[in-house]
Amino acid sequence: MNIQHKIEVTAKEGFQSLYKVEIPSVELQATRKEFEGDITLVIFPLLRYKKGNPVAIGEELGQYITENVPEITSFNVVKGFLNLVVEDKFYTEFFNSIYADTNFGISSSKENEKAIMVEYSSPNTNKPLHLGHVRNNLLGYSVAEIIKAAGKKVYKTQIINDRGIHICKSMLAWQKFGNGETPANTGLKGDKLVGNYYVKFDQEYKKEISNLVANGLSEEDAKKQAPLLLEAQEMLLKWEAGDEEIVQLWKTMNSWVYAGFEDTYKNMGVNFDTLYYESNTYLLGKDVVAQGLEKGVFYKKEDGSVWCDLTDEGLDEKIVLRADGTAVYMTQDIGTAIQRVKDFTDVGGMVYTVGNEQDYHFQVLFLILKKLGFDWANQLHHLSYGMVDLPSGKMKSREGTVVDADELMEEMTETAKEISEELGKLEGYSEAEKNNLYKTIGLGALKYFILKVDPKKRILFDPKSSVDFQGNTGPFIQYTYARIQSILRKAHFDYSKKVSISLHEKEKELLKQLALFPETIEQAAANYSPAIVANYTYDLVKEFNSFYQNVSILGEEDNDKKIFRVQLAKKVADTIKAAFSLLGILVPERM
């Protein structure tokens, strides 16, 4: 449906014909509700090419467009705004062309286009997933689905941080204080069990520091000399040396965590196509440093350490190899990016879903990869997002004050249950159906609350207000979907035939909103922003509810109008379902 393009081309031709002036572009927008019209051409920007009265220019241009674009039936000019009226037939024909299209708005995968790899989640294996991971997973998964819907092939991946001193802290604490506890003999999820020992390490470590300080050591020295920390460091060295017993313990405890993560991901409704493990990637990148030295991308200091000078680009110098030859995180990330393109040769770009505290790291990483000459390095994007806060304040993993992802999802389901029971519309539901509905509403509320906000913005998450059945919330949109399903169940007649009618203004407004769905997906993909899809869906629902309140659907006496309105309601529901699917949100058939 590209009437905008037709208007733009005709407006340019009109300007040339009327004033002998070529204009590069025209600004079009939806006509404001208080004026008659569907599409508005803004005259003011054109005054730089043709001086004169904007109303007079609008009148002349409006006349030219109306004569040359058959779909435009009339126009009016308000100050510097040319409002164009599009004929009903254009909208009904557009609707008939999309009604049976089950993939409306979704582009099919383009054969020769390079794939995009989207990385998200990337947890540590020393603790369960928390609220920060929830925003990360929901964003990464949704952006991957949106990019796919815009016609690109997508690989979803994560890199699991399964090595390092923090992992050894959990292992050592379990060894010392675990008494053989396992997920099987405690009934605890594996990631929770291991996370408890990470907290336990921190508690015991703090006791040792206090004792050492009491015996005369400075706090700084006590932190370095505490026996527990020294043992954890020794354990890491043994792991790196391949000590059989330590490696076996590491494998066992990590397997507990992976089983726990799997449950959380399943519950959250996210998935991955491929996994990378830091234990396999932490040595990657060293060979690239050698190549970079040869190319002059890196330089060596007197102590043997290797650096990249980015001062010409307004950044600083960045170390890529320590004097002792060991890699830093940057080296690993360089190596991992290159490895991914070797593993998936059709990858032509990557999206990293990582919090905004890492903005500088990714600026440096992308710049180094470009300097190394990789063409795909121009297609790297850091999907940077703000923190999620709760009314109770900040979270700290090692102190055990994080908001656990599983508990949050359970709480959301419970909140949905309380509110649904208060509304009391669930007669005839079995217990299983009720529980399924509470989960659909609760998770829908959580996901929508997080995804409707621009990723860059910080969020203050309030579980209670997110489950409100009014306003810009997931449950409000789900309720509208369920209301349409109720209409369709009561439509005991064949509403499959194509009809042509004169449109009620509310039908026209709804059709205009529907028509924006394809470009909404394109825009959301280009901006890596699920918020664009979320807020589009809310606008669609508001438009539907206004239509629902102003026209009769099943009570309409004119048969063609009744058929059209049922079809229109069904298409709105299908579009809500498709849009919510891109956000990872389910819709209930009844509510």
- Contact predicate 39/86, CB 8 Å: yes
Is 227 in the same domain as 319?
no
Name the domain boundary from 57, 86, 115: 86
Q: Do 193 and 236 sit in the same domain of this protein?
A: yes
Q: How far apart are CA 194 and CA 178, in angstroms?
A: 10
DSSP of 504-557: PHHHHHHHHHHHTHHHHHHHHHHHT-HHHHHHHHHHHHHHHHHHHHHS-STT-S
> E strands within 215-296?
274-277
Signed CA dihedral, 324, 330, 336, 342: sign only:
negative
Work out the burial of residue 133: count CB atoms within 10 Å of its CB; fewer than 13 is exposed, 13-18 middle, 19 or more buried: buried
- Same domain, residue pair 529 and 470: yes
| pLDDT for the residue 305 | 96
Nearest to 138 by CA among 442, 353, 438, 456: 353
Residue pointed to by tokens 């054969």:
111
Using the structure block, give the residue that is written with the tokens 């006791």: 207
Handedness of CA 448, 450, 453, 454 (dihedral sign): negative
Positive or negative: CA dihedral 386, 388, 393, 395: negative
pLDDT, position 545 = 98
Considering the domain architecture, whether residues 53 and 16 belong to the same structural domain is answered as yes
Q: Judge whether 30 and 4 are in contact, CB under 8 Å.
A: no
Return all residues near 325 (Cβ < 8 A) that are at least 6 apart.
286, 304
Q: Is residue 76 part of a domain?
A: yes
41, burial (CB in 10 Å: exposed 0-12, middle 13-18, buried 19+): buried
Q: 176-211 burial, b for 16+ CB within 10 Å, e for fewer? A: eebeeeebeeeebbbbbbbbbbbbbbbebbeebbee
Q: How far apart are CA 91 and CA 516, in angstroms?
A: 13
| Domain annotation covers residue 94 | no
The answer to whether residue 157 is domain-embedded is no
**Contacts with 181 (C-beta within 8 Å, 6 or more apart), sequence order:** 174, 188, 193
Closest to 568 (Cα-Cα) out of 492, 490, 515, 493: 515
Structural domain ending residue among the three candidates 36, 59, 86: 86
Residues 571 and 470 in one domain: yes
pLDDT at 392: 64
Evaluated on CA atoms 491, 493, 495, 499, the torsion sign reads negative
* CA 319 – CA 325 distance, rounded (Å): 11
Q: Is residue 219 part of a domain?
A: yes
Quote the pLDDT of residue 401: 56
Question: How many CA atoms are closer than 13 Å to the CA of 232, on its beta-carbon side?
Answer: 25
Residues 226 and 186 in one domain: yes
Q: Domain range spanning residue 219?
A: 164-260
Structural domain includes residue 491 = yes
Q: Given this model, what pLDDT does residue 394 score?
A: 47
Are both 534 and 480 inside the same structural domain?
A: yes
Helical segments of 119-164, H only: 131-149
Would you state the pLDDT for residue 397? 42
Report the SS3 class of residue 467.
coil
Bridge partners, 29 (sequence order) = 40
Q: Number of structural domains, the chain?
A: 4
Mean pLDDT, 10 residues at a time, the chain of 591 residues: 88 96 94 93 96 96 97 96 95 94 90 92 93 95 98 96 95 96 97 96 96 94 96 95 97 97 97 95 91 95 96 95 91 96 97 97 97 96 92 50 85 90 82 94 96 95 83 95 97 93 95 95 98 98 98 96 98 98 96 86
Q: Which amino acid is at 78?
A: V
